[in-house]
Structures are given as C-alpha cells and as structure tokens.
Structure 1
Amino acid sequence: LQDRKAEGLEELLETLSEHDDWLLEEIIEDRTPATGAVYGICARTLAENLTVPAFFGSAATGNGIRRLMKALRHEAPQPGDTSSRLNGAVASTFMSRTRKHVGKFVWLRSFADELSSGATVGGNSIGGVVEPFGERPAAKASIDAGGVAAAVKSDHLNAGCLYSETGQIDSPEWYKAFPALWNRTISAVNDRDDVKLSEALQQIAAEDRSLTVILDQESGQVILGTQGSQHLRRVQQTLSDVFGVETDTGPFVAHYRETITRNTDIHFRHKKQSGGAGQFADVKLTVGPAKRGDGFAFSEKIHGGSVPRNYIPAVRLGAEEAMARGPLGFPVIDVLVQLYDGQHHSVDSSDMAFRIAGRGGVSEGLSKAQPVLLEPIFEVRFRAPSVFTGALNPMISSMRGQILGFDREAGAEGWDVVRALMPGTSLEGLINNLRSATQGLGRYEADFAHFQELYGREADEIVERRAEENARR
C-alpha cells in the first residue's frame, strides 16, 4: 500500500508540473517539493480551471469528510472570487423540497458578504433563511459568504441556478444538469390519480434537475426523461411513498411520418342530396412530393371561376386535414397540392362541401402516390474516454447508426466526442449499451436531424402495429 501511495503521489506531482515550471524543475532535479508549495499549486490550478481534485470518502461513515472540508476552506476559491468570476452571482441553488404545511424550501449557498431574510435574490426578496436540515428548521438571521441555508417563501427560485440580485445568470457548463438519457411513458395505475400524478411529477422535476416531464402532444402521453433505469425506479418509489400514486411505465415510441414518392392527378366530387339544400363540390387536384423538409404547400391555378375564390380556402383546409393521417396511418409531410379545376353549384355548394371535397381528394391522392414510411433520425454526440472509442464503432453499427466523425473533447484531455446519425428506435436501449461499452463512463446527447425513408420487413411491422392501434381507438 505504501508503494502504491508513493506511485500515486509521483503521478500527481507530474500532472501538476504540466502547469507549473517551478514544480517541473524540482522534479527534474529530484528534489522533494515542500508540501505547502504543492497545496498552493493545487489552489492556483483549481482556480484557473486547469485541474479538478478527486476525493475519496463516505458521507454515511464520515470517512474523508474532514479532508474535503479542509480543501474547500484552503484550496477552493473564496466566495468573493467565485462571485466575480460568475458575473456578480450572490447565490447558487442546488436543491429544493416541498414540505407539507410549510411550502417550498430552496437550498442555496451564498456568495454575498451577508445574505439575510428579505434580501433580494433573483429579482425578488426571499422570505427567510433557515437551517437546511432537521424536521423543524431553525430560523437564521443571516448567512455569511460561503454559508449554506434553505430559503423559504421564495417560490421564484429554482434548484440548479445561479442568481444575481436582479435575476438569473447563465450557468457555466459544469453547473448544468445532465440532459435526460432515457425517455419512458408514465401513467397512473388508477385513472382517478391522473391529476395527482401530473402535480407530483411537476413537483419532483422542480427538485431534480436531471429529470424532465413532457406532455407529448401527438400521443397525449406523459414522457418522463431520466438518467436510466435506477433513476426511473427511484422516481416511481417517490411517487408511491410520498404521493401515494402507483405508476406504470412503457417504452416511448419514436414518431414516424409518411410521405409520397410520385405525382398523381385526382378528380373528386362530393355530392349529397337528402331533401332541401344539398351539398356539392367538385375539385381536380395534383398531389405530389415536395423536397424533404419543405412541409406542406398548397397552390391553385383556377381560371374562369370554375371554383369560386371564396371556396378555395376551404379546399386548402380540407387538404390540410387529410395530412393528419395518411394511408399508412401516420401524419403526412412534404407534400405539394395544387387545385387546378373543378365545378360548383349555385345553391348546393358551400365552404363545408368544398372542405369535404378537398379532404377526400387529397386522401385519395396520397393513397395513389406510392406512400412511403419515414423514420426519425437523430444526430447523437457520444462522450467517452478515448480508450473506449474503439468499442463505440461496433455498438453504433449494430443499432443501424452511421458514424459521422471523431473529435477530441475540448477541455477534457483523454476524452473523445463521437458523432453519429441514429434512428429514433435505437435511443430506447442506447444508454444501457453505451454504459456497457464504456464501463459506465460514457454519455450522449441527441437532437432530431431529419426523416429518412424506411422499407422492408421493419416498415411493414410498424405499419401493421399502427393499423391495430388506430383500430382500437
């Protein structure tokens, strides 16, 4: 153990010597540098964001806590220096909790010389500061720079933010929470708990910066974004123990789209007669594909008043309604529709009749224009130690991904950034595969890139499942 300690100290000094000429000279001359000087170098490189110390310990047993506190006192930058570096921040918030009969508690650290009840933080006054722990937190008159307390009656403050006196300050990257890596649908076991679940999730998300809660407009499902399976289980346990809501979760299915691949001309007539005034509208349309990403476009070249101009907006509205669900069962994108002729009746024609004709004509045209399924493609940026970069290649390929390139991680020696295009379906199990390939060290961020045509058995299975879902609705 002593030999390993000496070896570790030697490695530490060599690393620090990369940022200090005096220490490098001491090592070259085989002299043992003074302990105080080494601590001074540690403090300087930490303040300059050149090194980040790592401490071993256990909060449960108290091991290593004293050394950590000494480092925070002597080697870490002083609160005043931190405030100046962070554009005049007076406080940082790092946790929030809501307690019955009391309200919201926001844990914060003060960078101001003194932070007291009624002080202005984030543009509003805080109701008070109390001891951060205990069932009945004691009120404090104030806290000094560097002190930690809980702010009460401060609903304008949120966890994980930096605040000046006037408002919120943009946080540096290291202060921001990791984006959610695993999206799952979540619902209450009992329908009567739906409202209760929604309120509970919003409260938990306000306390946990790495958690996201989104209402998916297309499916109507609540999407819970977590850091992985353990994080998800913890949230479900909190929902059960604290809020009394039992929940079910399921995979979040990527949103598919469909488009068409050729032009087609359609003649569609809507005619209805059932006594009294009837309905009549006749339209001739060209339905064809647009460039990927151009969306829906409608035009007309009516001559001679075959379709009165006051009915043309109704035809467009009907065409847009037809795009909501195509022949494959998914929303349709990137389509051009042109109205070039038609007929009307002086008595039976109306906005509603032409709206129905527009919808029916475009629906028929989409079916005849060789529809094709589109799957969402995401640009994924993987961050992992360089020694694991080679393991990412087969992982990405096995999930139908396409590697775009490799880069060194700026400001993180020994880390790489791998960029790839991956289908949305691969994101479901990506975090588990990534952690397996990188021994738990890898992370990723994903942003939607574009839609891509999908053929073959996989496309057929997706369309069949969609048809079954639509039949059940």
Structure 2
Amino acid sequence: NKVDSSLTVAQVLKTYYTPQGGKLSLARVWQGTLTDGMSLNGVRAGGLYHMLGQQHQSTHEVSAGDIVAIGRLEGIKTSDILVSNGGKSKVELPKAEALAPVYALAIAPEKRKDEVKLSGALTKLLEEDPSLAWEQHGDTNEIILWGQGDIHLKVALDRLKRKYNLPMTTHLPQVAYKETIRKTATSHGRYKHQSGGHGQFGDVYLDIKPLDRGEGFDFSETIVGGVVPRQYIPGVETGVREYLTHGPLGFPVVDVAVTLTNGSYHSVDSSEQAFKQAARLAMTDGMPKCQPVLLEPVMVIEVCAPTEFTSKVLQLVTGRRGQILGYEALADWSGWDCVSGYLPQAEMHDFIVELRSLTLGIGFFNWKYDHLQEVPGKLAKTVLATVGNG
C-alpha cells in the first residue's frame, strides 16, 4: 500500500533485554530517516545503536535499509510496524508469524521467594522469543511453559537462570482430568449441629442425573409448600457447586444435573449455611451411587509430513490411543500430506519429539482442545491409583 514518503517507517525484527540498557528493539528501517529521540507509534526512541556482537555503538541517525537497535520502546513488540506519525498511517509489511507451541513443561522456581519475580521474567522472555508461550492452568494451577521442543525449552530455562537469576524445577504437566456420572440417584443430606445457643439445621433431598457431554452443570428445584424456604435455596446450590469441584474420584465434575426435590427446616436453627452443609452431605452420599467415570481432554490435531512418512505418522497417532479422521495432500506443498485426528492430552507430551524423529526432523503439527472423553477402564484404574482419590 502507498505510504506518505515524508514518513519514517521501520519494523521490529527482534526484542532484547540487556542487563545494562534494558529493552532494545532491533528494527529495520524501510523508509525515511530515523533519528534518536524520534516519536514512533507515540513512543520516543531512547537511543539508537549499531550492534556489533555484544558491543553497542551509539549513533544519532540511520537511513532506509539500515538495521538498528532502538532503546526503551515500551509497549512495542517483535513484528510491530513503527511509523513516525504516531502509528496513524496503516502500513502493511510482511510479518514472520511465530510458530504455535507444541511442547510443554510445568515449571516452578527452586526458591519459593522467587515466585513474585517469575511472571515479569516470563513476560520478558516471551518478548524476546515469541515462539514461547506460558499460562497458569486454570484446573491444575501449574505454570506451563510452551515451546517448540525439549531443546528449545532447555535453552529458555537456561536463560531464565542466567539472565534473571531464576533457577527452575520442571516436571510433566498434569492432565486436567474431569469426571462425570453414568446413572441417576436420589440422595438425602441432613445437617444438625448444636453448640450452645442457636443450633444449625438443614435437610434436603436431591435428584442427581447425568447430562450429555458438554452440557456442563444444571441446578433446579421443585419445592412445593415451602418445605425449604426460598431464602435457603441459594445455599443448597452453593453446597452442590462446592462439592462438584472435587468429586468422588478426586476431579472436577461436569455434565451433571441436580434437582432439589424436598427437605425440611427449623424456624429458629435453619440458615443458608446449614442448607449448604446439608447439600454437600447429600452429594457425598449420592454421587458414588451414580457410577462416576473418569474423563480426559482430547485434542484435535493436524500432522503434516512428506508423503513417504504418512504411514509412519498414522501409526504414531494410533499407537498413542489416537483416532484418525482422515488425511489429504497439503495445499501448496507438493509431496506433503496432512493427517487429521483426535489425540488424548495424556499422549501429547513428547509427540513432537517422536514425530521429528520419524520424519528426519521436518514433520510438524498443530492442535487445539476439542472435547472430553471417557478414559478406558484399565487405564482409568492406573490414573486413579496415581493421581485420583485412589
């Protein structure tokens, strides 16, 4: 697209954090003259430097075609396009897209006191290398570092230790197992507690039944005649929801419907808290009768490799409890196939390592979460013996 020739245009190719100078954005000047102190996308350039190995040679001005390190461009990241009119002109330049991460480790600082520094250090690490990613997993609460393979993460962890004085421990990420039920049950929970003064009393009957996969949780009530007063029903739902965070197998429960059908109360001793406790007791009584089953997350994957390796790729996927959905020629890649299928998360950890080994280092894949599926009986027993309630 046509750009006003009076503007300076540059693009950030790489981001560095140096112990002395802080943030440096390595950029190529595409048009115009870039001077020290110039405002780019509304941020003032805090120094221009030619990089000669580890040495930084200060300069005042560079021209189109030059590659220069720009100091202190806060809020600017790799691939950003810098324009001297505050970024108001839309300039399109080719961008190198970061590869989606395919290999993960759970990480934790060796020293507990370093936890507060970790988030900031990881943010800087990712600015320097956009092909890394990190998350705090909502279900397992682990900090997961993602990258392109085992060696890539090894290098990243070494940089955390060297540059930020953050030695880390690592382990395989936990699989975010869930559980659900197969059968319907009716349960009863009565909470009665006396400890001087007013007591605590709540009494509930619950119907528990399975829902179709992916429907989540549903709470309802069919109370008639005020046997459980309206103001206590939210307490019943809270008690049920709290129980479902840790079901009979030891994992969060999904795809369950619970109906409050009956109960009783005491005009003095009943409270929302007492009914919450009664609901938890009813769930503790009823859920084991509903034939709980273990669920595991399953990813949909696309595995791409030269055609001569397609049969090996198919074996790799099926050998890890995967399900093949099909394969076809990879568009615009002559002699390559793309295999699509489902793969359990538990089988994904070193998938990329084995795939590269089978394909002379050039096979690649991408993935995204798709659904939960029941873990086969024998394997479920093994999982429960190691990470569940046993």
The equivalent residue for 1:141 is 60
SS in 2 for 1:132: strand
TM-score normalized by structure 1? 0.76
For residue 274 of structure 1, the aligned residue among 174, 195, 198 is: 195
Which of 378, 385, 389 pairs up with 1:457?
378
Which residue is 1:152 aligned to?
A: 71
Q: Percent identity?
A: 34
Q: 1:400 — aligned with what?
A: 321
Whole-angstrom distance in 1 between the partners of 2:118 and 2:10: 32
Kindly tell me: are residues 465 and 202 of structure 1, through their superposed partners in 2, closer, same or farther at Cα, counting changes over 3 Å? same
C-alpha contact (below 8 Å) 2:189/2:280 kept by paired residues: no
Distance 1:430 1:222 in 2: 20
1:290 aligns with 2:211: yes
CA apart distance, 1:122? 3.5
Q: 1:235-273, CA deviations, whole angstroms, 9 ceiling, x for partnerless residues?
A: 222233333332221111221000001111112111111
Correspondence for 2:250: 329
Superposition deviation, residue 371 in structure 1: 0.3
1:91 aligns with 2:4: no
Question: Which of the residues 361, 377, 385 maps onto 2:282?
Answer: 361
Alignment of 1:298-309 (within 5 A): 298-309=219-230
Whose helix fraction is larger, Structure 1's or Structure 2's? 1
Q: Deviations over 1:428-464 (max 9, x none)?
A: 1201111012111011111010000113221011111
Q: Which runs of 5+ in 1 are unaligned?
A: 1-80
Deviation at 1:187, TM superposition (A): 1.8
1:390 is displaced (CA, Å) by 2.2
3-state DSSP of counterpart to 1:382: strand
Moved more, 190-199 or 394-403: 190-199
Root-mean-square deviation (Å): 2.4
CA deviations 1:76-119 (Å, max 9, x no partner) are xxxxx8x87xxx99332121111224210011112222233344
The equivalent position to 2:161 in structure 1, one of 224, 230, 240, is: 240
How much does 1:312 deviate? Answer: 0.8
Shift of 1:233: 1.7
Tell me if structure 2 keeps the 8 A contact 1:306–1:344.
yes
Q: Do structure 1's residue 389 and structure 2's residue 297 form an aligned pair?
A: no
236-245 or 117-126, which moves further after superposition? Answer: 117-126
Give the match for residue 46 of structure 2: 127
The 5 Å alignment of 1:55-66 reads none
Per-residue CA deviations over 1:176-224 (Å, capped at 9, x if unaligned) read 1111111101122233333344433332122111111212233232111
Distance in 2 between the 1:286 and 1:173 partners? 59
* Whole-angstrom distance in 1 between the partners of 2:105 and 2:270: 49
Q: Tell me the amino acid that sits aligned with residue 126 of structure 1.
A: A
The match for 1:436 among 352, 357, 375 is: 357
The alignment covers a number of residue pairs equal to 385
Alpha-carbon deviation of 1:230?
Answer: 1.1
Aligned residue number for residue 105 of structure 1? 24
Residue 135 of structure 1 deviates from its aligned partner by 4.9
- In the other structure, the counterpart of 1:189 is 110
Helix, strand or coil at the partner of 2:347: helix
Q: Which structure dedicates a bigger proportion of its chain to strand?
A: 2
Report how far residue 364 of structure 1 moved: 2.3
Give the residue type in structure 2 aligned to 1:262: K
Q: TM-score, normalised by structure 2?
A: 0.91
Which residue pairs with 1:223 in the alignment? 144
Maintained 8 Å contact 2:18/2:24: yes
Q: Report how far residue 134 of structure 1 moved.
A: 5.2
Structure 1: which amino acid aligns with 2:180? T
Native 8 Å contact 2:140 2:176 kept in 1: no
Residues 278-337 of structure 1: CA deviation (Å, up to 9, x unaligned): 010111110111111110110111111111111111111111101100000000001101
Equivalent in the alignment of 2:101: 180
Separation in structure 2 between the aligned mates of residue 297 and residue 243 of structure 1, nearest angstrom: 47
Higher relative contact order (CA 8 A, sep 6+): 2
Contact 1:93-1:107 within 8 A present in 2 as well: yes
Preserved contact between residue 89 and residue 169 of structure 1 (Cα < 8 Å): no
Instruction: Output the CA distance in 2 between the equivalents of 1:328 and 1:170.
Output: 55
Which of structures 1 and 2 has the bigger CA Rg?
1
Structure 1 residue 276 displacement after superposition:
1.1
Aligned positions of 1:306-321 closer than 5 A: 306-321=227-242
- Please give the alpha-carbon distance, in whole angstroms, between the structure 1 residues aligned to 2:165 and 2:87: 39
1:2-28 superposed Cα distances (whole Å, 9 cap, x missing partner) = xxxxxxxxxxxxxxxxxxxxxxxxxxx
* Alpha-carbon distance in 1 for matches of 2:34, 2:357: 46
Q: Supply the distance in 1 between the matched residues of 2:92 and 2:271 (Cα, whole angstroms).
A: 57
Cα distance 1:409–1:143, how it changes in 2: closer, same or farther (>3 A)?
Answer: farther
Which moves more between the two structures, 261-270 or 120-129? 120-129
Residue number among 272, 275, 293 corresponding to 1:351 in the alignment = 272
Other-structure match for 1:68: none
- In the alignment, what sits opposite 1:54? none
User: Counterparts of 1:16-95 in structure 2 under 5 Å?
Assistant: 90-95=9-14
CA pair 381-167 structure 1, distance change in 2 beyond 3 A: farther
Question: d(CA) in 1 for partners of 2:117 and 2:273?
Answer: 41
Per the alignment, residue 344 of structure 2 pairs with: 423
